[in-house]
Amino acid sequence: MLESLPFLSATYVGQPIWLWMAFLAFIIFLLWVDLGLVNRKDGVVSAKKSALMWASFASLAIAFGAYVYFVYEPDPVYYFSPENLNRQAVVQYFTGYLLETALAFDNIFVIGMIFTFFAVPREYQHRVLFWGILGAIVFRAIFISLGAAVVNQFTWVLFIFAAFLIFTGWKMIFGGESEMNLEEHRLLRFLKKRIRVTETIENHNFFVRQPDPKGSGRLVLFATPLFLCLIMVEVVDIIFAVDSVPAVFAVTKDPFIVYTSNIFAILGLRSMYFMLAEAVVSFKYLKYGLSLVLVLIGVKIIWNFGLYKAAKDLTGAPLVPYLEPQWSLVATLLLLGGSMLYSWIRTRND
C-alpha cells in the first residue's frame, strides 16, 4: 500500500513519513479525548483527577518505550555504536523523557505566576494549558528539526551544547532566582497597544464581540485576558525549549527519539500542573539535582565525543573508556530521585 503512496514511504530524518504522521495522529487523538470527552465542560481539575491523568500519560510513555525497544528501527547514523541499537534507543528515550519531565517543574512555577497575573479562574486554566500544548507540539517540531539538521551536519555543535548545559547547571545553583516581570514584558505591552483587549475574563473564550468603543454601533472583536495568558504560556514554553532541546540532543542525536520523549513529557505537564501547583515549593531542592544532571550530560559529551572519539580518530587510541547510555539514565534517576527525596524530608513538616 505504501508503495502506491510515495510520499508516505519517503523518509524524514531517518524515519518514514508514515511513522511521523501516525505518532502525530495518536497525539491529536489523545488531546481530543482529553478536551472533547474527559474535560469537555469547564471545571476545576482536582488533584486526584490530575494524578490519574498524569499516570495515564506516563503509562503511555512507558508503553511507547516498549515499542522503541521491540519494534522501532533506529537509523544507525544517529548512534555511536551500530550494536544493540534498540537498547541504546530505549535508554536514550527514557533518559530524555525523565529529563524533560524534571525540567517541567520550573515551567509549572512560571505558569502558576502567569495565571495569577491574569487572574485566570481555575475552571478555565485547563483550557489554556490544552491549547498551549498544541502550540508546544508545533514549536518543538520546529526546534528539533533545526537542531537535528545542525547537530548531524556539524558534530562540533555538541561541544557548544555541552558548554551551554554546564553553564546552565552552574547558573541554576549559583545564579539565584529569576522572575518574569509580566507588567513590563515587551510582547505583552506590544499586544495591548495593537489589539483590543477586554478588562475582565467573562467566560472561557479567547475572543468575544463587544460594542465598538469608537461608537460605530457595530460589534467588534476583542481579545480577552485569557488570550494574552495563552500567548505568555507559549512564550514560556519557547524559553524553556532553549534549555530542554539542547539537553535532549546531548542525550540522543535521533530526532524521532528527541521529539517523542519531548511530546510525552509535555503531555504530562498539564496534569502535573494541577497535581503539583500547590506543592511545587515542596520540591525546592529538585533544581540542585537537575543542575547536576545538566552538568553531567555536558561532561559526558566532552568525555565521549572529545576524550574518546576525537582522540581515537586522531591517535587511534581513545584517552578514556566510552560511557554507555545506560549510565546517563542511572545517574539521572539517582540525582533527580535523590533531590526529590531530600526535598520531601526537609519540607515534610512545613
Task: Express each pLDDT in 242-254 by its tens digit.
Answer: 777 888 888 888 9
Q: If DSSP states are collapsed to H, E and C, what string results for 70-131?
A: HCCCCCHHHCCCCCCHHHHHHHHHHHHHHHHHHHHHHHHHHHHHHHHHCCCCHHHHHHHHHH
CA atoms within 13 A on the CB side of 158: 25
From CA 287, how far away is CA 88, in angstroms rounded?
27
Cα–Cα dist 286/334, whole Å: 12
Task: Look at residue 39 in the predicted model and tell me its pLDDT.
Answer: 66
CA-nearest of 243, 252, 241, 199 to 85 is 252
C-alpha cell recorded at residue 9: 514511504
- Predicted confidence at residue 6, as pLDDT, reads 60
pLDDT of 43-91, one tens digit each? 777 777 788 888 899 999 999 999 999 999 999 988 878 888 999 999 9
Residue among 293, 300, 285 at smallest CA distance from 339:
285
Query: Half-sphere exposure (CA, 13 Å, Cβ side) for 317?
Result: 1
CA dist 156 and 163 (Å) reads 12
| Cβ–Cβ under 8 Å, residues 303 and 325 | no
What's the mean pLDDT in 261-270? Answer: 86
Reduce the DSSP state of residue 196 to 3 states and report it. Answer: coil
> What Å distances lie between residue 302 and 24, 78, 282, 333, CA to CA?
34, 17, 34, 21
Cell 497535581 sits on residue: 275
- Give the separation between CA 110 and CA 113, rounded to whole angstroms: 5
- DSSP state letters, 27-86: HHHHHHIIIIIIT-S--PPPHHHHHHHHHHHHHHHHHHHHHHHHT----GGGSS-SSSHH
- Indicate whether 275 pLDDT > 80: no
> What predicted TM-score, i.e. pTM, was given to this entire model?
0.84
Q: Given pLDDT bands bounded at 50, 70 and 90, which one contains residue 255?
A: very high
Q: How far apart are CA 78 and CA 85, in angstroms?
A: 10
Question: Which pLDDT score is estimated for 36?
Answer: 67
**What sign for the dihedral angle of Cα 297, 299, 301, 303?**
negative
**Which pLDDT band, with edges at 50, 70 and 90, does 161 fall under?**
confident
Strands (E) in 138-291, as ranges, are 207-211, 219-223
Q: What span, in angstroms and rounded, lies between the C-alpha atoms of 73 and 89?
A: 9
For residue 259, give the nearest of 77, 27, 10 by alpha carbon: 27
- Cα-Cα-Cα-Cα torsion 237, 242, 247, 250, nearest 10 degrees, comes to 140
The SS3 call for residue 16 is: strand
CA pair distance 176, 199, nearest whole angstrom: 34
